[in-house]
Homo-oligomer: A and B are copies of this chain.
Amino acid sequence: MSVPPATLYGLGVGPGDPELLTLKAHRILTSAPVVAYPKPDTGESFARSIVAGYLRKEQEEIAIEVPMRVERFPAAEVYEAAAKRIAADLKAGRDVAVLCEGDPFFYGSFMYLFERLASKFPTEIVPGVSSVMAAGAASARPIAARNDVFTVIPAPLEDREIATRIALSEAFAIIKLGRHFMRVKTLIETLRLTGSCRYCERVSLAEERVMPLAEASDTAPYFSMILGYRGAEKAIRGR
């Protein structure tokens, strides 16, 4: 007798504070027999560390080892192999919860598993709190309001590309800073917007650091962003 296929869950686990999981993510996480997560080839899985306190030792864990060169398109073979292993569990009737930092579909790597598995198995995405929202909360200033245009700009883009997007936005987040941080910081100084920007690092974690961009040091980890708001004068225009 064949077992009905189980469900693949893309589980948003939020920006870092374990209490920022949704009730739904918590329920699915604690009841799934199999939990999968990305993990750098050296070091710990950030997604797993967020939910570590909720895991039970009876749960099977699948660590998907992703090469550390974050700038490059992750090796297709890694996700191919992980998809095969997850598919085996699903075929055996075991639900698999894939842990996704922040939200699964917002700049996440879950899409690589999704595109390989979603057409073959029942799939559900559980949205999560994005680090952008957590950065707004931590910096005690609205991210965007009323009819503001809000743009998320990855730092690896060229200066000219970044500047053009900023010019057309009342509010913006520059993500994936890492080794691009000083270049972007200099660009923002050139645009005379430093005073409108906050630097946000590891938001919602104990190590959280949030400060005016002018006070930030010269290095930034991958899990950091700049939140900018240049809407003050535009708001007066009545938009």
Contacts and interface: CB of A to CB of B under 8 A. Distances in A.
Protomer copies: 2
A42 to B, nearest CB: 22
A195 interface: no
Interface residues of A, number: 61
B22 A19 contact: yes
B133 A20 contact: no
Contact of A143 (B105, B156, B157): B105
A146 B153 CA distance: 11
Choose among A127, A134, A141, A204 the residue with the greatest number of B CB atoms under 10 Å from its CB.
Answer: A127
A21 B20 contact: no
A108 B104 CA distance: 23
A165 to B, nearest CB: 6
Nearest to A204: B127
Contacts of A103: 129, 133, 136-137, 143
Interface string A115-158: 00010000101111110011011101111111111111110110
Given A23-B23, A106-B143, A126-B137, 11 more contacts: A17-B24, A20-B127, A21-B22, A22-B129, A103-B129, A105-B143, A107-B146, A125-B137, A150-B151, A151-B165, A165-B168
Closest 7 CB pairs of A and B: A125-B137, A19-B24, A127-B133, A105-B136, A147-B154, A127-B137, A150-B152
Interface of A: 10, 12, 14-15, 17-24, 26-27, 73, 103-108, 111, 114, 118, 123, 125-130, 133-134, 136-138, 140-154, 156-157, 161, 164-165, 168-169, 176, 204, 239
